[in-house]
Amino acid sequence: MSIYELMMAGAAVVFTPKVLLFICIGNIMGVIFGALPGISASMAVALMIPFTLTLDPVGSIAFLSAVYCSAVTGGGIPAILFKIPGTPSSAVTTFDGYPLACRGKAGKALLLILVSSAFGGLVSALGMLLVSRQLSEIGLRFGPSELFAVAFLGLSVLTSMDEDKMLKTVISGLLGLFLATMAMDPVEGVPRLTFGSTYLLGGIPMIPAMVGMFAVSEVLKQVARPTEIKIDGTPSLKDSPMHVSFAEWWSLKWTMIRCSILGTLVGILPGAGATIASFLGYGMEIKLSKHPEEFGNGSLTGLCASETSNNAATGGAMVPLLSLGIPGGNAAAVMVAALMLQGVQVGPLLLKSQPSYLSSVFLSMAVTNVLMVVIAVVVAKMFVKLMKIPYYFLGPLIILFAAVGSYAAQNNITDILVTMLAGMAGYFMIEFRYSPAALTLGLVLGDICENNLRRAVMITRGDVLAVFARPITAGLMTVCVIFLLLPVIKKFLRSRRGV
């Protein structure tokens, strides 16, 4: 299928009244959820899953992509106005956004992040369109051993997710792998670790677990340690025009291009995501800048680097999802679960059998990145009022959405119990500095790793060395070992040098 035919197939799905309406709703809800502290992009996507049940699978992923992209952008609004990142990927935005707002340039800062976000999102969507099909063609040649190596490559980023608490992050990931084994054995067909429960024969359901891990745990955290938001004295948009001169845009052109490419590449790496992309983009621009002392004090370059990078990661995260069936981040993992609910088998065959998935996601992300600039401007002007909503109203509402979303997945009341247990587990993990994101990564990729490794060993009749002797598998596992050891080596060298 040519690019023209591919785009026409996608346009036939996206540019219908129903899907366009859902994309607009996804934009509005994504920006609002992203702008509210304590609601991450992954949580926003998870909460919107019940709405996808009225759409076909292609329309569903187009809608969820819109929610994902706009939520990442919306997180920058409170980061600038209140120095409170709406999403984890907007943490870097506070470094230069809030100082600009304090100098009466809140409007300029908001316009800059919106246009930078749209630029990064469009570039990454284009990259996704150009790369996914080729990667899918290569993926069709993969056997069980290669698919295991690809999934393990996603797990290998555990050591890079948080170098300050690397051991706890790895333990969290291993716990996720362990929980993934609580199901019917995929080869032998016997129950494992189900403790006599028929509910666990299908494994721990992903949607209730993720909604609880990301949504309920954040509510519990806010209840335990509420975030103080002071409206009085907060930088206002009333006397701050949303204007950036042409000269300032021109000076940022290479920053936007570099960070778009970097963010897309980081997004492609399973488990990396927008937060890592944001920090890497910001760090890269500091090293390349002639005036690094300006960063952290209201630098337009720093603000542009942060928001371009984290939004570019959204398109990158869709590449492994569409081409290999491997989620590039937590939000992408929720999308995989949403597709599975509708009976879609994600993996290398997806784009071969239904290429319209690729073009519909590209077009929905393109429409989203244009629409969200207008929508986010309106939300930003209303946001000071939204921030006055007491959390004792907002918190229960989030839990209500979480319960409804979990129940709607399988119409099983036990799923709500799983959501609440996952929420409490996620809260205690955060309290003791473990990583719920790493646990989720292990839970999502654990089943893929185990099934493909066991199939590969069965094909070679128990010869484990033959499994890893295949050229592509050996190459990917070498990269995995490098990814696993590099942060450890760096940390050791830094400690030796006393840095």
Task: State in Å, rounded, how far the first CA of the chain is from the last one.
Answer: 54
Give residue 157's pLDDT. Answer: 64
Q: Across 9-18, 111-120, 405-414, which has the greatest mean pLDDT?
A: 111-120
pLDDT band at 350 (very low <50, low <70, confident <90, very high): low
In percent, the amount of the chain with pLDDT more than 90 equals 0
pLDDT above 80 for 390? no
Identify which of 35, 117, 70 has the alpha carbon closest to the alpha carbon of residue 309.
117
Q: What percent of the chain has pLDDT over 70?
A: 82
To the nearest 10°, report the CA torsion of 124, 275, 173, 146: 20
pLDDT band of 365, cuts 50, 70, 90: confident
Q: What is the mean pLDDT of the chain?
A: 77
Burial class (CB in 10 A: 0-12, 13-18, 19+), 193: exposed
Among the residue ranges 149-158, 268-277, 406-415, the one predicted with the least confidence is: 268-277
Whether residue 466 is predicted with pLDDT greater than 80 in this model: the reply is yes
Phi, psi of 81 (to 5 degrees): -75, -35
Contacts of residue 9, Cβ cutoff 8 Å, sequence gap at least 6 = 1, 355, 356, 359, 360
What pLDDT does 162 receive? Answer: 61
Question: Which are the contacts of 68, defined by CB distance < 8 A and separation ≥ 6?
Answer: 30, 41, 44, 45, 314, 331, 332, 335
pLDDT over 50 at 281, yes or no: yes
The pLDDT assigned to 370 comes to 85
Q: What is the mean pLDDT of residues 300-322?
A: 82
pLDDT at residue 276 is higher than 80: no
How large is the average pLDDT for residues 322-326?
Answer: 71
For residue 267, pLDDT over 60 is answered with yes
pLDDT at 234 over 50: no
pLDDT at 493: 76
Judged by average pLDDT, the poorest of 77-81, 349-353, 468-472 is 349-353
- Which helix (H) or strand (E) covers residue 108, if one does? helix 106-139
pLDDT, one tens digit per residue, over 58-77 is 778 778 888 888 888 888 88
Per-residue confidence band for 46, with pLDDT thresholds at 50, 70 and 90: confident
Backbone angles phi, psi at 191, to 5 degrees: -65, 145
Residue 229 banded pLDDT, cuts 50, 70, 90 = very low
Whether residue 89 contacts residue 76, with contact meaning beta carbons closer than 8 Å, is answered with no
Residue 408 has pLDDT above 50, yes or no: yes
pLDDT for res 230: 44
| pLDDT tier for residue 237 given thresholds of 50, 70 and 90 | low
Return the SS3 of 192.
Answer: strand
> Higher-confidence residue: 254 or 101?
254
| CA trace torsion 196, 197, 202, 206 (10° rounding) | -130
92 contacts 274 by C-beta, under 8 angstroms: no
pLDDT given at position 231: 42
pLDDT at 137: 59
Flag whether pLDDT at 384 surpasses 60.
Answer: no
Task: Over range 395-407, report the average pLDDT.
Answer: 75
The 3-state DSSP class for residue 10 equals helix
133 — pLDDT class (breaks 50, 70, 90): low
Residues paired with 191 in a beta bridge: 184
Q: Quick check: 357 and 132 in contact, CB under 8 A?
A: no
Q: Could you tell me which of 307, 329, 309, 308 has the C-alpha nearest to residue 318? A: 329
Question: Is residue 287 over pLDDT 80?
Answer: no
Inform me whether the pLDDT recorded for 85 exceeds 80. Answer: no
